[in-house]
Amino acid sequence: YPQYNNEMVCPTIPDVEWIETLVTLVRQNNGFGFRIVGGTEERSQ
């Protein structure tokens, strides 16, 4: 997968407090490679 430098991923724009970004994740057979913890779903705590 291509690697992008920080300026391309999160550009510094004066007077802009947030940027909306669309991220597409490719799920492998064993998952996404990370886990989000703390939710209410089973096994997420």
DSSP string, 1-45: -----HHHHS---TT---------PPPBTTBSS----SSSSTT--
Tell me which residue has tokens 């779903």: 41
**Number of domains within the chain:** 1
Residue 38 pLDDT more than 80? no
Distance CA 39, CA 8 (A): 31
Integer CA distances (angstroms), 19 to 6, 7, 10, 11, 29, in order: 14, 13, 8, 9, 31
Q: Residue 41 sits in which domain range?
A: 1-45
pLDDT tens by residue, 1-37: 567 666 666 667 788 787 787 888 888 888 887 777 7
